[in-house]
Chains A and B, each alone.
Chain A
Amino acid sequence: KQEVTQIPAALSVPEGENLVLNCSFTDSAIYNLQWFRQDPGKGLTSLLLIQSSQREQTSGRLNASLDKSSGRSTLYIAASQPGDSATYLCAVKESGGSNYKLTFGKGTLLTVNP
């Protein structure tokens, strides 16, 4: 059974700092990996989607990498801002089937202090 773990559970940084959030998964047979942002009491906003054949994806100040063989992904946030404060979730879709069920990690709660 696929398990997704995110480290650290919480992170507090000063504004302007570059930071890395980690995600690991137990079964490397994934189809793709998606990073989300969740604001308190809100839904999930999709940030980046990395296919299993890709090594990284970039969007603005965000860069996500994927090392499928070792079961790891990182989300790099450059020049962090207070508006980046949120919970960041990673989720994997396993290979096989076509239904795109996602298995989530518990998230990293990020606080960027002004």
Chain B
Amino acid sequence: EPEVTQTPSHQVTQMGQEVILRCVPISNHLYFYWYRQILGQKVEFLVSFYNNEISEKSEIFDDQFSVERPDGSNFTLKIRSTKLEDSAMYFCAIRDRGNQPQHFGDGTRLSIL
């Protein structure tokens, strides 16, 4: 049973539209992450989230991206105005305290037309 559930599994959106990707951990965790994987390329770090705020973000995570955990369970990634190059698999990951591994969800495939 996965520790993290991501919805939707596939999202198709017109360029310029806003999208919200959701991540629901099964139980409480301390650290939350978003990564993306463009087809045929490496998995890339986007952002980490701890104690209800962003703790680190990459160059990819520009002003078009935002994250939040509004109700203490769902963890969301919003892309305000999507571009063709945002097409990718987006993975949510969680981690607990200490030297624990990160656990990933099955991802959301985002296709921008």
Q: Which of A64-113 contact B (CB under 8 A)?
A: 89, 91, 97-107
| In contact, A101 and B56 (Cβ under 8 angstroms) | yes
Contacts of B33 in A (CB 8 A): 100-101
Measured in the bound complex, the distance between the Cα atoms of B104 and A46 in whole Å is 8
| In contact, B42 and A104 (Cβ under 8 angstroms) | yes
Measured in the bound complex, the distance between the Cα atoms of B58 and A32 in whole Å is 20
User: Chain A interface: which of B14-22, B43-51, B65-73, B76-84?
Assistant: B43-51
Measured in the bound complex, the distance between the Cα atoms of B93 and A34 in whole Å is 14
Nearest Cβ distance between residue A99 and chain B, in whole angstroms?
Answer: 4
Contacts of B91 in A (CB 8 A): 43-44
Contacts of A103 in B (CB 8 A): 45
| In contact, B42 and A99 (Cβ under 8 angstroms) | no
Contacts of A36 in B (CB 8 A): 104
Closest to A44 in B: B104
Closest to A36 in B: B104
| In contact, A104 and B107 (Cβ under 8 angstroms) | no
| In contact, A43 and B104 (Cβ under 8 angstroms) | yes
Measured in the bound complex, the distance between the Cα atoms of B2 and A4 in whole Å is 27
| In contact, B104 and A104 (Cβ under 8 angstroms) | no
Q: Does A11 contact B (CB under 8 A)?
A: no
| In contact, B50 and A99 (Cβ under 8 angstroms) | yes
Contacts of A28 in B (CB 8 A): none
| In contact, B41 and A43 (Cβ under 8 angstroms) | no
Q: Does A61 contact B (CB under 8 A)?
A: no
> Most chain-B Cβ atoms within 10 A of its Cβ — which of A36, A43, A46?
A43
Measured in the bound complex, the distance between the Cα atoms of B29 and A87 in whole Å is 27
Measured in the bound complex, the distance between the Cα atoms of B55 and A103 in whole Å is 16
A34-B2 contact given A99-B31, A104-B44, CB 8 Å threshold: no
B residues at A contact (CB < 8 Å) = 2, 4, 6, 31, 33, 35, 41-45, 48, 50, 55-56, 58, 91, 93, 95, 99-107, 109
CB-defined A-B contacts under 8 Å, sample of 21: A34-B102, A42-B106, A43-B2, A43-B6, A44-B91, A49-B99, A49-B101, A51-B99, A89-B43, A97-B56, A98-B55, A99-B31, A99-B50, A99-B56, A100-B48, A100-B95, A102-B35, A102-B43, A103-B45, A104-B43, A105-B42
